[in-house]
Amino acid sequence: MGDTQRMSDFDVIVIGAGPGGYVAAIRCAQLGLKTACVDRWIGEDGEPSPGGTCLNVGCIPSKALLDSSERYEEISTHAVDHGISAGPISIDVAKMQARKDKLVSDLTSGISALFKSNQIAFISGHGCLVEPGSVRVSSDHQPEQFLRAKHVILASGSQPVQLPGMSVDETTIFDSSGALAFSTVPTRLGIIGAGVIGLELGSVWRRLGAEVIILEAMDSLLGNADRMIAREAKKQFSRQGLDILLGCQVTEVTSTKDGCTIHYRTGEQDESIDVERLIVAVGRLPCTEGLFEPGCGIELNARGAVSVDAHCATAVPGVWAIGDLVDGPMLAHKASEEGVAVAERIASGVGHVDYSIVPWVIYTHPEIAWVGATEEELKSQGVQYKVGLFPFAASGRAKAAGATEGFAKIIACHETDRILGAHMIGPQVSELINEAVLAMSMEASAEDLARTVHAHPTLAEVVHEAALASHGRAIHKVNR
């Protein structure tokens, strides 16, 4: 070993400080394990920036811009309904972005503070599993070092899928990170992919004045959502002016003086549109480049994800993998729960994630959220079920807020009444879904939810009424 290298011993080394890795590291430390966390992310200020995709270019900055743009739209178009005249309003994009950047840096320095208070050694640099129990850390600003530990948790996350011939140039073609950092509102914005990112970022820039056209390969929106929710979402987004073109095969993108031309095929037709900027948002792939030495025993599956068993253990004893790096929904809370479970397995041999009740939320307006089975899944499994539906338009609180789009849907087992799924589109369903998750985690029946006293007037009464509706006894439903 050269003189620039040194050895350190830990119980656990975590590679990656996203919501999977940093949460795993904190839980390991809480359980008395001597823990190090290695992360290579460097912020705009040139300093290490733990927090991963979620804090730096994902969940948090996207929600900051969604919130700013929603306020803008609220004031410019809806305030008048409340008798408020705001006069001509304008958006200072630089200030909006500065607010987002400050939020990100506050939260990433919060992770550094959490590492310190839990006595976790944070090491900035690229981590590579050399062999079981041995990690090499390299960076531009420090000599290479070798760390040893009984356990290594791989939590290197994911990166955007790139389409051939459409490489990100940060001038005309952007991925989600670039689209979160626009310094001006594009006049005409094209987005390839009507998934979660396409819909959230499309909403941000539409609200601020861009004409947004989203090209989606599939014939329907939000493939893994309940169909009733997906249809309502398409209706609401189209009404708002998001132009979503389904069944489009993008064939080529060519440069123009003012942006680019997207060439695509729908059915037998060849079409094209000109846009000023293009966001490519067609999914994300696990980030495994340079993460482990070939031959150290880690296996990748056909998707390029690290292969793990049901407990996040890789084929190599003492090496675990969690979050976007492994199969399952690419969601921050799923990554964190796996991080906690692996830490607990390392410390005590027992840890658990209930994958059947991981909620999904899409932070558009109206918001979309779901947990558990869709009607389509239950039909295909031959499960007998009943459905309770209740519209936000019949909620006093939703009416008072002027946010009456959408509905809540509770699906319960026909025989046992156990709640099998909850699907919602409407105001603040990102919060309301957690009631259904809790109910399902306690294996509650629709009747349990129906018999639970809900405060009035609240949006949660819509979930309550949906549970009542599954028993045919919603109170505020007009029978037709």
Task: Give the Cα separation of 30 and 251 in Å (integer).
Answer: 52
Binding positions for ligand NAD, 82-111, rule CB under 6 A? none
Residue 250 contacts ligand NAD per CB under 6 A = yes
> Nearer Cβ to ligand NAD, position 284 or 409?
284
Task: Give the Cα separation of 408 and 246 in Å (integer).
Answer: 26
Query: How near is the Cβ of 224 to ligand NAD at its closest, in Å?
Result: 9
Is residue 132 within 8 A of residue 297, CB to CB? The reply is yes
Select from 94, 98, 218, 438 the one that contacts ligand NAD (CB under 6 A): 218
Residue 18 contact partner, candidates ligand NAD, ligand FAD, none, CB within 5 to 8 A by sort of partner: ligand FAD
Residue 193 contacts ligand NAD per CB under 6 A = yes
Residue 60 contact partner, candidates ligand NAD, ligand FAD, none, CB within 5 to 8 A by sort of partner: none
Is residue 190 within 8 A of residue 295, CB to CB? The reply is no
Task: Give the Cα separation of 305 and 357 in Å (integer).
Answer: 22
Binding positions for ligand NAD, 155-174, rule CB under 6 A? 163
**How big is the site for ligand NAD, counted in residues (CB under 6 A)?**
24
> Nearer Cβ to ligand NAD, position 13 or 362?
362
Residue 290 contact partner, candidates ligand NAD, ligand FAD, none, CB within 5 to 8 A by sort of partner: ligand FAD
Residue 195 contacts ligand NAD per CB under 6 A = yes
Measured between alpha carbons, how far apart are the two ends of the chain, in Å? 80
Query: How near is the Cβ of 298 to ligand FAD at its closest, in Å?
Result: 12
Residue 362 contacts ligand NAD per CB under 6 A = yes
> Nearer Cβ to ligand NAD, position 182 or 363?
363
Residue 397 contact partner, candidates ligand NAD, ligand FAD, none, CB within 5 to 8 A by sort of partner: none
Q: Closest-CB residue for ligand NAD?
A: 195
> Nearer Cβ to ligand NAD, position 330 or 439?
330
Residues of this chain that interact with ligand FAD (CB under 6 A) are 15-21, 38-41, 52-54, 58-59, 62, 126-127, 155-158, 176, 197, 287, 290-291, 323-325, 330-333, 335
Query: How near is the Cβ of 263 to ligand NAD at its closest, in Å?
Result: 12
Q: Give me the residue label for tokens 């949906």.
A: 466
Region from 187-195, 315-323, 339-347, 382-390 binding ligand NAD, contact rule CB under 6 A:
187-195
> Nearer Cβ to ligand NAD, position 192 or 343?
192
Residue 361 contacts ligand NAD per CB under 6 A = yes
Residue 250 contact partner, candidates ligand FAD, ligand NAD, none, CB within 5 to 8 A by sort of partner: ligand NAD
Whether residue 456 lies in the annotated active site? yes
Query: How near is the Cβ of 83 to ligand FAD at its closest, in Å?
Result: 34
Binding positions for ligand NAD, 278-337, rule CB under 6 A? 281-284, 329-331
Select from 10, 363, 385, 392 the one that contacts ligand NAD (CB under 6 A): 363
Residue 41 contact partner, candidates ligand NAD, ligand FAD, none, CB within 5 to 8 A by sort of partner: ligand FAD
**Per-position DSSP letters for 212-227, written without gaps between them:** EEEE-SSSSS-TTS-H
Q: Which of 78, 352, 414, 456 is catalytic?
A: 456
Task: Give the Cα separation of 460 and 471 in Å (integer).
Answer: 18
Residue 333 contact partner, candidates ligand FAD, ligand NAD, none, CB within 5 to 8 A by sort of partner: ligand FAD
Residue 127 contact partner, candidates ligand NAD, ligand FAD, none, CB within 5 to 8 A by sort of partner: ligand FAD
Catalytic residue numbers, as ranges: 456
